[in-house]
């Protein structure tokens, strides 16, 4: 599991992104971003309900690539208990921000290739826009294997990521449906195309949420997969790490 160069590349890209990205793009006062987030929330909650989850009170949840903790905080809003919520990320500044905002959630600096948790520990794992940031296939495989290792036999992975390349961002690489199935072999996987193309939604949303909704329902120009992955038919292979969890 020697992907140190890839880890350094990812860290560099995100440091640069922090310095150059316009924060208004991801502001909730941006109509396009607000529509995208609310749409994703509706789809996530509908998917959980479909799989029989209508309360998160007793669920133990891990957010892989948690950033500053926005997504895991959403799950607290949905009813999860903060003490049952965990997040890991490669970047110290993001973990520091997450801890400062939500000191009651367990955030930890860690490489998701070696998660610092025991087997079968989590009920739900979030894997949002992580794999498209990684170019090394071996690293993707390691993360997928670790996610399955720490997931309970009855647990779910909620996957959300691009299936289109972003022509304006060469630092992300689409993950095709076939690759998702290869990464999570012998798992039950259900994928749905959601999220209207961000440039389009940013242009239309200030004038009509209804138009955005209609276009998104067509799925033709949606850019992301929302996936529910379960390991009900997965036979985990015990992986020993003599050196213990890899923490950066």
pLDDT of 14 higher than 90? no
pLDDT of 173 higher than 70? yes
Q: What is residue 112's predicted lDDT score, i.e. its pLDDT?
A: 95
Residue 72 lies in a domain: yes
Residue 77 lies in a domain: yes
Residue 22 lies in a domain: no
Looking at the structure of the chain, the number of domains it has is: 1
For 190-230, what is each residue's pLDDT tens digit?
Answer: 999 999 999 999 999 999 999 999 999 999 999 999 999 99
**pLDDT tier, 69 (very low <50, low <70, confident <90, very high otherwise):** very high
**pLDDT tier, 20 (very low <50, low <70, confident <90, very high otherwise):** confident
CATH number at residue 120: 3.40.50.150
Three-state secondary structure of the chain: CCCHHHHHHHHHHHHHHHHHCCHHHHCCCCHHHHHHHHHHHHHHHHHHHHCCCCCCCCCCEEEECCCCCHHHHHHHHCCCCHHHEEEEECCHHHHHHHHHHCCCCEEEECCCCCCCCCCCCEEEEEEECCHHHCCCHHHHHHHHHHHHHHEEEEEEEEEEEECCCCCCCCCCCCCCHHHHHHHCCCCEEEEEEEEECHHHHHHHCCCCHHHHHHHHHHCCCEEEEEEEEECCCCCCCCCCCCCCCCCC
Residue 211 lies in a domain: no
**pLDDT tier, 135 (very low <50, low <70, confident <90, very high otherwise):** very high
Residue 117 lies in a domain: yes
Write down the pTM of the prediction. 0.89
Domain of residue 119 covers 4-13+53-195+223-230
Residue 25 lies in a domain: no
Residue 92 lies in a domain: yes
Residue 173 lies in a domain: yes
């Amino acid at each position: 599991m020697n992907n140190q160069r890839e880890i350094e590349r990812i860290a560099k890209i995100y440091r640069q992104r922090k310095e150059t990205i316009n924060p208004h793009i991801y502001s909730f006062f941006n109509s396009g971003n607000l529509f995208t987030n609310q749409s994703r929330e509706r789809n996530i909650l509908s998917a959980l309900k479909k799989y029989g989850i209508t309360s998160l009170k007793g669920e133990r949840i891990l957010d892989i690539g948690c950033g500053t903790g926005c997504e895991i905080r959403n799950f607290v809003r949905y009813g999860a208990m903060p003490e049952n919520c965990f997040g890991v990320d490669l970047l110290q500044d993001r973990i520091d921000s997450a801890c400062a905002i939500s000191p009651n959630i367990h955030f930890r600096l860690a490489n998701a290739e070696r998660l610092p948790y025991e087997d079968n520990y989590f009920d739900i794992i979030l894997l949002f826009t992580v794999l498209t940031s990684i170019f090394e296939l071996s690293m993707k495989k390691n993360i997928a294997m670790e996610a399955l290792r720490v997931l309970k036999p009855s647990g779910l992975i909620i996957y959300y990521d691009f299936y289109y390349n972003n022509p304006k961002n060469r630092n992300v690489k689409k993950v095709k449906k076939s690759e998702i199935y290869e990464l999570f072999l012998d798992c039950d996987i259900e994928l749905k195309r959601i999220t209207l193309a961000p440039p389009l939604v940013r242009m239309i949303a200030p004038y009509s949420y209804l138009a955005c909704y209609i276009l998104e329902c067509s799925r033709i120009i949606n850019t992301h997969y929302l996936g529910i992955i379960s390991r009900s038919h997965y036979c985990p292979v015990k992986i020993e790490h003599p050196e213990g969890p890899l923490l950066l």
